[in-house]
Amino acid sequence: GAASNSSIDIMPDGESLAIQGKHAGEGHGFKFDKVFAPSAGQGVVFDEVSEFVQSALDGYNVCLFSYGQTGSGKTHTMQGSGNG
């Protein structure tokens, strides 16, 4: 088949993404509790995960998985600038 560029597509349901392979017909779908678009800001992410933060403070085990290219802002999104 014809070759195409690899890409990650976020599905409109906000819970799924699809990774397209380098060749037509290659690809995999994944489902999560929540998938944020690259344009999602820190406030949107915090609104979604704030209950997890409270659960962690209450002593429960919590896991947040953040995936993205190096330098794309994962740590800044989760921790902020450290000022204030």
Contact 22, 4 (CB under 8 A): yes
Give mean pLDDT, residues 19-46: 84
Render pLDDT for 35-79 as a digit per residue (tens, 0 to 9).
Answer: 888 788 888 888 988 898 899 999 999 988 877 788 877 777 767
pTM to 2 decimal places: 0.58
When pLDDT is cut at 50, 70 and 90, the band that residue 83 belongs to is low
Encoding tokens for residue 47?
């609104």
Q: Which residue has the higher pLDDT, 24 or 47?
A: 47
- The candidate with the shortest Cα–Cα distance to 32, out of 53, 43, 47, 18, is 18
Give mean pLDDT, residues 28-35: 88
pLDDT score for 38 = 79
- The candidate with the shortest Cα–Cα distance to 40, out of 31, 32, 49, is 49
Q: Please write down the HEC assignment for all residues of the chain.
A: CCECCCEEEECCCCCEEEEECCECCCEEEEECCCCCCCCCCHHHHHHHHHHHHHHHHCCCCCCCCCCCCCCCCHHHHHHCCCCC
